[in-house]
Amino acid sequence: MTVSKAYADLERRGRIVRRHGLGCFVSPAKDGNREDEEFGTGNGGRTGDWKRDAGSNYGNNGEGERGQSRIPGRNTGQDKTGTRKRFGWQEDFEDYLPRAQLWRNFDYSEAEYSFHLAAIHSGLLPLKEIGEAMTMLVAKRPELMSAYGNFQGDLELREVMTKHLRTRGISLSAASLMITSGTQQGIDLVARTFIGPGDAVYLEEPSYTGAIDVFAGRGAEMISVPMDEDGMRIDLLTKLCDRRPPKLIYTVPTFQNPSGATMSMERRQRLLELARSYRCLIVEDDPFSDLYFHSPPPPSIKSMDRDGHVVYMKSFSKVLAPGCRMACVAAEGDILERLTAAKAASDLGGPLLIQLAVLPFISDRYDAYMKGLRSALRSRMERAAKLLKRHAPQGVKWRLPEGGLNLWLELPHSVHVGELYRRASRLGISFLTGNVCHVGEPSTNYIRLCYAQMEEEQMERGLLLLMPLLKESMTGTKR
């Protein structure tokens, strides 16, 4: 308290400047024009400083941006200098949000050439069918709009979902399933229920930004495990766990996001054994397993789970209608019960109408649709890969994905990814910079491109625009 007051006093006297999420700096000028200058660099994504003294740190993009505005491209409609004084107390108001890359990088406004989301273009989705089901429900069962749903999700929909889980080798009854508002909510529910300050969470490196954010928000100690083409390096994981036993291991074993790698069957088994011996939880996030290009991927880890160690998550809305926010979480025993209690406290359950609107499609037409979707996505991926092969400058590397929605590009070290991102933005091209897929947000030389977010021709035009940029940025000075 004394230190805090001393800082406040120094600030009042104009001797120091406090910058939200950054820290304190000696004032460069006493004449009151501190607003115009920028100091320091971000420390986005640092772990170990969960509860922050001066509000949260929303991070920066880790690519050398200095002192950038905390809300790039967003106009809050408030005059910053005017409100700074009135809301000044808020800067000292402690929070538990140490990192929020998702919020900053998930751009819902479509760029002209959108490669940044792992999403499927609406032209490929069965929106007509789902819309018709919704229209019918609204006419025949309007009371669905007034009913609070079962916290666990509609029973009939859960029953239908169990059939699809069986294709992943998972034989569970509807009682072991919960419906969530997308997988994001599923990850969040697990984290809020089981992860607290200092708990050890292991994840692949690189991993899904939204998961990193959620675990960081719970104050977890996140430990990254390197990958190779067979997925997470279980040998290294084992060594790491020797030193620091895991509370939870988060993995996307199939067509991993962002790298695209698939964990081998042998590693899946070893991972499960490890979880059993440490009596810890595995979150198996499985958004892409239906989207294979050649042969079906290995069975899910959950399919081998006898003792309820695996919380399995499968998104349905991602491949049907992302705006419908519909995923299922499968878990057994106490674990699911506790997650259901957390779901109740979060939002009292999701909209029932939407659950029932996707039900008939998932029940009757999902498999046939998925067959068509797979071949459409494969053709896109191949066209993207062909263009890359022809036009990508030398030194750019990638592996052809076996499924999923993304290409994970390794760029030569001479490329400054942040600078490339800015130049691309000016041409209306968006992609995900690799740094946000890492816990510490180090500088990386990777970018993720989704080849499914746009119409095919648009995607190709975007790649043809991006490649020359990439070449230019390689001639820049080495960092």
| Subset of 96-125 contacting its own copies (CB under 8 A) | 96-97, 100, 102-103, 106, 108-109, 117, 119-120, 122, 125
> How remote is the C-alpha of 153 from its chain's centroid?
23
Whether the CA torsion 428, 211, 207, 442 is positive or negative: it is: positive
Q: How far apart are CA 293 and CA 42, in angstroms?
A: 41
**Least Å from the CB of residue 226 to its own copies:** 25
Candidates 267, 335, 258; CA nearest to 299 is 267
Where b means 16+ CB within 10 Å and e means fewer, 414-431 reads ebbbbbbbebbeeeebbb
Please tell me the chain's helix, strand, coil percentages from 3-state DSSP, rounded to the nearest 5. 45, 15, 45
- 90 or 375, CB closer to its own copies? 90
- Interaction between residue 7 and its own copies (CB under 8 A): no
- 281 or 469, CB closer to its own copies? 281
- 103 or 293, CB closer to its own copies? 103
Q: How far apart are CA 268 and CA 284, in angstroms?
A: 10
**Least Å from the CB of residue 390 to its own copies:** 31
Q: How many residues bind its own copies (CB under 8 A)?
A: 105
- Interaction between residue 181 and its own copies (CB under 8 A): yes
Hey, which residues between 76 and 95 contact its own copies (CB under 8 A)?
A: 76-78, 83, 86-87, 89-95
Give the range of 37-45, 144-152, 294-302, 471-479 binding its own copies by CB under 8 A: 144-152
Pick one of 342, 373, 415, 466: the residue that binds its own copies (CB under 8 A). Answer: 342
Hey, which residues between 432 and 471 contact its own copies (CB under 8 A)?
A: none
- 335 or 388, CB closer to its own copies? 335
Q: How many CB atoms lie within 10 A of CB 353?
A: 18
**Least Å from the CB of residue 146 to its own copies:** 4
- Is 400 strand, coil or helix? coil
Hey, which residues between 283 and 312 contact its own copies (CB under 8 A)?
A: 306-309
Pick one of 18, 314, 325, 416: the residue that binds its own copies (CB under 8 A). Answer: 325
- Would you state the structure tokens that stand for residue 413, as one six-digit string? 């070290």
**Least Å from the CB of residue 3 to its own copies:** 16
Q: How far apart are CA 159 and CA 215, in angstroms?
A: 30
